[in-house]
């Protein structure tokens, strides 16, 4: 599967290069393939404490509002 053929802003599971997911991010006329998430770990968003901790930590990282960043898609997967 070629990530450049994916529809815009639709994350998919694709373990490649140590990352769990891939998305073709499109924003303001720009397009970029973003890979995010550790392939060897699971997210524990069902635990309120884990979710709160992750959302607090990742909120200070740049790219929280930029669809072209991995942090945006990871926070979205966690439901932050």
Predicted pLDDT of residue 35: 94
Predicted pLDDT of residue 56: 94
The predicted model scores a pTM of 0.88
Domain residue extents for the chain: 3-78
- For residues 28, 31, 37 and 42, what is the CA-based torsion angle, rounded to 10 degrees? 80
Q: Hey, which bits of 1-80 come out as E strands?
A: 12-16, 19-27, 30-38
pLDDT in tens, 16-75: 888 999 999 999 999 999 999 999 998 888 999 999 999 999 998 888 889 999 999 999
Rounded-to-integer distance, Cα 69 and Cα 76, Å: 11
Q: What single string gives the DSSP state of each residue in 58-71?
A: HTTSS-SS-TTSHH
**pLDDT exceeds cutoff 80 at 3:** no
Question: What's the pLDDT band for 2 if we cut at 50, 70, 90?
Answer: confident
């Amino acid at each position: 599967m070629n990530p450049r053929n994916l529809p815009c802003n639709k994350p998919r599971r694709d373990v490649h290069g140590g990352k769990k997911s891939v998305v073709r991010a499109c924003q303001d006329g720009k397009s970029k393939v973003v890979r995010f998430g550790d392939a060897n770990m699971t997210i524990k968003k069902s635990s309120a404490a884990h979710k709160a901790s992750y959302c607090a930590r990742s909120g200070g990282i740049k790219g929280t509002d930029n669809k072209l960043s991995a942090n945006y898609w990871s926070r979205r997967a966690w439901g932050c």
